[in-house]
Structure 1
Amino acid sequence: MRLGYHTITWGGVTGDPTGVTSVKDLVYRVPGSMARALRDIAAAGYDGVELFDGNLADFAAEPQRLRDLLAETGLTLVSVYTGANFVYSELLPDELHRVRRTAELAATFGAEHLVVGGGARRAAGTPDSDYDRLGEALDTVAGLAEDHGLTACYHPHLTTIVESPDEVHRLFGRSRIGFCPDTAHLAAGGGDPAELIRAHRDRVRHVHLKDVRDGRFLPLGQGDVDFGDVLAALREIGYDGWLLVELDHYDGDPAEAAQLSMSYLDERLGAATVGPGTPAREGPDDSRPDGPAGKK
């Protein structure tokens, strides 16, 4: 499993105000410097990066700027995150237009995954038919991603209609899209992230790691998530893809947070791979040839 990091921590997530009156232009965006974010992520020893659709779109007119940043840092653009309401039939064509545009751009930079969140909660409550609408829309998203050589995966998220374990099961009974478990959102929604990974083992395509305690998102190892069981579940299902740390709503230094989570993962993954006759890892520099000491 390779390790990556989301740029969300360098300024938090915002939206494009144009989207208030033009749904096709509504994107996620981090207001901080992407150059600084990528350099800090590389310096912490990660191999890959995930961007929001809005930040990726900022490079559309000058794609070489992002290619140069990726080459400089040695990072791989692993995935791009987007989202939509998906339950309002009149809005759906414009939302899918935006998803298609994101998939096209992600493909030009060699991304592997299109990560999607969403499923609006209506003011009047959530009818069961909204899960049918969401499932159908996500099947369309999966097809759009495949058309561009990407794998689409759904990210359950607080404030959407897919928060609790029951809601996760309800959605996956209606859609073929892959699963991107986010350990903190699943835990905050009342679920056991490891058990949800086991329950939907055939769908896991991508993984978001973050910790949580008392409603606050935290660097790995500082909250209540049982990452030992999460990693055990991933090994049980044979997952060998990316582990992507995503830390949002964080007030501390983003570079330091990235380093804290890397140190925690080095310790956890090192302990998990030590067996009889196998020397234990001695530190981050020994864990991967492109770890912190190998980044240029």
Structure 2
Amino acid sequence: MDWLFNFPFTISVDTNAIDNAVRGFAASHSAFFDGIKSGLTGFVGAINWILGYIPWFVLIALVFFLGWKGHKSLRSGITYAALLCVIGMLGLWDLMNLTLSIVLAGVIIALVLGLPVGVLLSGSDRANRTARPLLDMMQTMPVFVYLIPAVIFFGMGSASAVIATVIYAMVPVIRLTSLGIRQVNAEVVEAARSFGSTKLQMLLKVQMPQALPTIMAGINQTMMMAMSMVVTCSMIGARGLGNEVLIAVNRVEISRGFMAGGSVVILAILLDRLTQGWFSNRKESGDE
């Protein structure tokens, strides 16, 4: 009766041949990938250098100001500043800067690549239908899978972490940029066209401003997904709070894990709330 429950046909896939082909491609183009690795490592290092030279009290004051102005609430500013102080009091300030460097580098690259792609997809139904399965795959693929090609092509370290973060986090900004532009009122677009606007003028002066709330929501989601990769990327040599969590897991140190994990949560909350507050202000300013 096993034939009722066991699938009767299987396909023999030569996984060794595929793996060897990918490794061979990486080896034959090592100079190209090493150049990208050097550029990404330098980019992360530059962001970390900038963060490292910002005095701690200046960064806390900046978070307080953004929280106060973004949410128009003094209590919000004080709360966010106090949360950032918690990370410092736990002795994880430098690790927070390392984590923030990788996240910011990944988000910047994801936006530079994702925003233009979203704009292009918004102008073509065929391109949108073609890209949808690829975007679905990028968004639903287990995040650990992205680490394998990143390590093969770029080795261990922050460069691989940025590449994996970009691939995983880029999808929301592409989807929501395309969606936001598509949802712009057709009458507004037609009015702009009737006044002689070119496609570029219509995009920059009509469609993008109208779609800005949706686009900003995509940027916020991209940032959150980049933060979610912090601990995962520690498995391929990314330093920072994620690596501290990984060490705690390997050594079964619950206190160390909770302190580092809690710091990741605090950093994610701050990035989410501060960007949401800024986006809300921009939306209100646009409405006025």
Tell whether the structures are fold-level matches, with TM greater than 0.5.
no
Higher helix share: 2
Larger radius of gyration: 2
TM-score (norm 2): 0.27
TM-score, normalised via structure 1 length: 0.26
